[in-house]
Amino acid sequence: MSERKQLVLIGNGMAGVRAVEHLLKLAPDKYEITIFGSEPHPNYNRIMLSSVLAGGADMKEIVINDWNWYQENGIRLFTGETVTQIDTTGRTVRSDKGTEVPYDKLILATGSNPFILPLPGADKEGVIAFRDMKDCETMISASQKYKKAAVIGGGLLGIEAARGLLHLGMEVSVIHVQNYLMERQLDEPASKLLQKELEAQGMKFLLNKHTTSITGRKRVKSLAFTDGTELEADLVVMAVGIRPNVQLAKISGIEVNRGIVVNDYLETSIPDVYAVGECAEHRGIAYGLVAPLYEQGDVLAKQLAGIGTEGYQGSVTSTKLKVSGVNVFSAGDFHDSPEAKSLRLQDDVEGIYKKIVIKEGKLVGAVLFGDTSAGASLFSMMRKGESVEGREKEVLLGFTPGGAPASPDAKMETMPEDEIVCGCNGVSKAVILDAIRNKGCSTVSSVKACTKASGSCGGCKPDVESLVRLYAENSAAEAVREGICGCTPLSRDEIVAEMKRMGLKSVREVMNVLEWREPEGCSKCRPSLNYYLGMLWPEEYTDEKESRFTNERYHANIQKDGTYSVVPRIYGGVTSPGELKKIAAIAEKYDVPMVKITGGQRLDLLGVKKEDLPAMWEDLDMPSGHAYGKALRTVKTCVGSTFCRFGTQDSIGMGIRLEKAFERLNTPAKVKLAVSGCPRNCAEATIKDFGVVAIDGGWELHVGGNGGVHVRATELLCVVKTEDEVLEWSSAFLQYYREHAAWNERTSVWIERVGLDSVKKALEKREDRLALVERIETTLKHTTDPWREIIENDDLRKNFTPLAKDQLVSQGGSPK
């Protein structure tokens, strides 16, 4: 075999590594490959940075190719090194750390740089872009010290940054020069629907605003606008666009326009030097979306492998994604014009908007908001240029007017195999079918692992599920149902039913009798089994501490530096001078670096050493606030009729009564309650798992709310007259949730899954409610504050030794 040629890739991002992945499949032995990456990370999914910021994923989860992948494929990887010189005559590259590597073929995949507005003060501390993992870390760090954030730019990136900052507890304002958001992806009606949804989540918007300067001494303090107004800000995130990173190419004598100029084979003006991704300009266009960049990578891989290719012909782009929990899709030219016809459907009740634009009988553009299920088929029509004359309304609605809409499975069954299902990763239906039919993939997770479909924004997951249902061999139900984890194909309901039927009363017994694939289980199934057993057998089952996560084992929130956060319970947010003095004295005694008032009206002692936890709790002599557990967290209250002139009921008393009733209660996921003393709702009861709102002569009971990553308003369960009825209904609701929700399933997700009507029906008869109340009271009788056991047991105290930083991940710790 002839000696391998040297291939060097500058840039360890998604586009360049995609080309290498494909090349390894086509010609695995043709090149020795070297990759330089400026960041100290392996190849990761930049699209998912907003999920990292919002707490929906960590860095480990967004890695596309881990360190082992490079080693297994014989790739030399230099991370944290930036190539600063290319000698196109001597065919070598040199990094800022002095590493010099020769090349036969060179790929430039240098990506793009965020555009920083040249404003006075833009160089101040606290002014950043949102482009990489370091930016995420800066935002997370800033959120722990500062309160007010401003995001300049109301495009997709700006909104995702704003959503993440909102999740981190900051007050967020988005400044945008246009009169509506995301004007590149949405038309004005869809944008206004999105703005309404985001405002409900807590974002503020300043539209038609032009920033003139950033004020402050060393750190940013405020933004000044052309209309003379100002906005206070401790953190400014610029998300106003990107520019191809062409500096290296430019100083190396490679032709550059807006991007690095390439032909249809991704060749630059210098022989054997190629460019791919956001840095490349093809036929005058530099693409910023992932699908076109992956198409370029596939063409380049064929070119390098010596396989015939027609070359890259450019891309018709579409955007299908989830913006802060809302599905949006757009493609083509969706703006109105005299030469085109538009059809629209707007449903403000369901939050759905659809628009298609037709020119010369062909579909040329579309916008979907809320329901994006037709996105793939619309995009296919555009790419093929097929005529839609005479069936315009059918195209808009997705079915013939007067007929019934096609099911999701039916839509996927009729979808042509060359259509793209996963736009983020450029995965077609044909590729997914090949994985199912020829590679043994029979679950969504296995399809994702094999093809990367649904591995980015997740918007195409329902489509992948449909394809698995339709084409996996083991029948629809068996194929899609993955069980509660990879250790078993059994669902939550099947496992609980077998526990009841067979009287299974230990985690190990369940795994053995129900034939677990992994005899020791995993971090998903062990905690869930532990919960289900405790829920079913409260009088007999002994909680298995080793099946709980670190936070629950040590009854405090582990922090990123290995210290812990301690939150004593403060009922209804009401405390006393004596209690405050005691907490302050203990904070001083144990050198607590920060005492924080939480959003749940309690005090959080941050930075506690692990070995100090037992003694600190003994000194506090207060119940745990369970800020770490899948349990009742807080009952937030306003002052109600006790002091407020608007209060109609005693919200403080009601809140304290509820908190004392349910403290220590283990639940499938964390549970938050609130009681507002009047419909002004100062305690924000309508975004809690169970919310109580006082009205004249009674109480409204609301359920299924969530103020987290996916904000959801509550739904009205019922109206009652007395405090005793509030306690009865809340007890019945919480027990019904405990008995029927999956482990780690918030009430908001559970209510959406089962429907409020089914919950109302289960609770409508008083005898059924009282039976549920009796079961929850039985459970509560057999629960104690876990700190009592630890304080009184010397053997348990021995577990509280310092945790090494390298143990944090394996022990379940996270920066959150």
Predicted local distance difference test score (pLDDT) of residue 409: 74
Given a cut of 80, is residue 677 above it in pLDDT? yes
Element (H, E) at 356: strand 352-359
β-strands 690-695, 671-676 pairing: parallel
CA distance 529 to 510: 8
What is the per-residue burial (b if ≥16 Cβ within 10 Å, else e) of 556-581?
Answer: bbbbeebbbbbbbbbbbbbbeeeeee
The residue-averaged pLDDT of 706-731 equals 91
Per-residue model confidence (pLDDT) at position 325: 62
User: Quick one: pLDDT band at residue 350, thresholds 50, 70, 90?
Assistant: confident
Nearest to 777 by CA among 739, 731, 738: 731
pLDDT 10s digits, 506-545: 888 888 788 777 777 777 788 899 999 999 999 888 887 7
Q: CA-CA distance, 232 to 223, in Å (whole number)?
A: 6
Phi and psi at residue 275, to the nearest 5° = -140, 145
Examine the pLDDT at 94 and tell me if it is beyond 50. yes
Q: Residue 533 contacts by C-beta under 8 Å, 6 or more apart in sequence?
A: 499, 504, 505, 506, 507, 510, 541
- Quote the pLDDT of residue 197: 85
Question: Percentage of the chain with pLDDT > 70?
Answer: 90
Structure tokens belonging to residue 304: 């390098």
H-type helices in 240-289, by residue range? Answer: 247-251
pLDDT value for 809: 33
Q: What percent of the chain has pLDDT over 90?
A: 53
Packed helices 651-662 and 723-740: angle between N→C axes, nearest 10 degrees: 40
182-196, 293-307, 519-533, 778-792, range with the lowest pLDDT: 778-792
Distance (Å) of CA 289 to CA 148, 277, 370, 396, 651: 31, 9, 21, 25, 51
The predicted structure's pLDDT at residue 813: 33
Length of the chain: 816
Report the pLDDT value the prediction gives residue 806, as an integer from 0 to 100.
36
pLDDT band at residue 57 under the 50/70/90 scheme: low
- Confidence class for position 335, pLDDT limits 50, 70, 90: confident
Given a contact cutoff of 8 angstroms between Cβ atoms, the answer to whether 176 and 153 are in contact is yes
SS3 146: coil
Higher pLDDT, 349 or 277: 277
Q: Is 252's pLDDT higher than 70?
A: yes
DSSP code string of 546-580: GGS-HHHHHTSEE-TTS-EEE-B--GGG---HHHH
User: Are domains 5-112+244-305 and 552-781 of this chain identical in fold?
Assistant: no
- pLDDT of 474 > 60? The answer is no
Give SS3 for 673: strand
Query: How far, in Å, CA of 578 to CA of 582, rounded?
Result: 6
More confident call, 264 vs 382: 264
Q: What is the dihedral of CA 815, 710, 159, 295, to 10 degrees?
A: 90
Distances (CA, A) of 671 to 202, 532, 657, 691: 21, 17, 16, 11
Burial of 588 (0-12, 13-18, 19+ CB in 10 A): exposed
- What mean pLDDT comes out for the span 496-506? 86
Q: What is the CATH number of domain 5-112+244-305?
A: 3.50.50.60
Q: Where residue 480 falls among pLDDT bands split at 50, 70, 90?
A: very low
Across 325-337, b (16+ Cβ under 10 Å) vs e yields ebbbbbbbebeee
Assign 475 to helix, strand or coil: coil
- Facing residues of 224 across strands? 213, 230
**Could you tell me the two tokens for 50?**
């907003």
CA atoms within 13 A on the CB side of 121: 19
DSSP 691-723: EEEEETTEEEEEE--B-SSS-B--EEEEEESSH
Nearest to 633 by CA among 593, 596, 594, 667: 667
Average pLDDT over residues 718-730: 96
- CA–CA distance, 632 with 731 (Å, rounded to integer): 12
Are the C-beta atoms of residues 67 and 59 closer than 8 Å to each other? no
State how far the Cα of 427 lies from the Cα of 274, in Å rounded to an integer.
Answer: 24
Separation between Cα atoms, residue 41 and residue 60, nearest integer Å: 10
Total-model pTM: 0.59
Give pLDDT, residue 482: 55
Q: pLDDT (tens digit, 9 = 90+) per residue, 398-454?
A: 766 655 566 667 778 877 787 778 876 778 888 999 988 888 788 777 788 788 787
Alpha-carbon span 382 to 387, nearest angstrom: 9
HEC sequence for 364-419: EEEEEECCCCCHHHHHHHHHHCCECCCCHHHHHHCCCCCCCCCCHHHHHHHCCCCC
Average of per-residue pLDDT values in the chain: 87
Strand-pairing partners, residue 327, are: 322
- Domain locations in the chain as residue ranges: 5-112+244-305, 127-240, 492-548, 552-781
Q: What's the rounded Cα separation, in Å, for the pair 106 and 109?
A: 10
Q: Which CATH superfamily is domain 552-781 in?
A: Sulfite Reductase Hemoprotein, domain 1 (3.30.413.10)
pLDDT band (50, 70, 90) for residue 52: confident
3-state SS class at 86: strand
**Model confidence at 319: pLDDT above 80:** no
Using the 8-state DSSP alphabet, how is residue 686 labeled? G
Q: Are 704 and 747 in contact (CB under 8 A)?
A: yes
- What residue type is 489 in one-letter code? P
**C-alpha 704, offset from chain centre:** 20
pLDDT at 815: 29
Q: What are the DSSP calls for 288-313, one per residue?
A: -SHHHHHHHHHHHHHHHHT-------
pLDDT at residue 551 tops 80: no
- Could you tell me the two tokens for 395? 């195209």
Name the fold adopted by 127-240: FAD/NAD(P)-binding domain (3.50.50)
Higher pLDDT, 288 or 148: 148
Helix (H, G, I), strand (E, B) or coil at 27: coil
Q: Are 759 and 736 in contact (CB under 8 A)?
A: yes
User: Phi, psi at residue 332, to the nearest 5°?
Assistant: 65, -155
Is residue 671 within a helix (H) or strand (E), and if so which, with residue range? strand 671-676
| Nearest-5° Cα angle at 51, 176 to 489 | 150
- What sign for the dihedral angle of Cα 550, 552, 553, 559? positive
pLDDT of residue 808: 33
Residue 488: pLDDT over 90:
no
Q: Which residue has the tokens 């240098």?
A: 110
pLDDT score of 511: 85
CA distance 598 to 647: 24
Lowest mean pLDDT of 430-444, 451-465, 597-611, name the range.
Answer: 451-465
Higher-confidence position of 613 and 8: 8
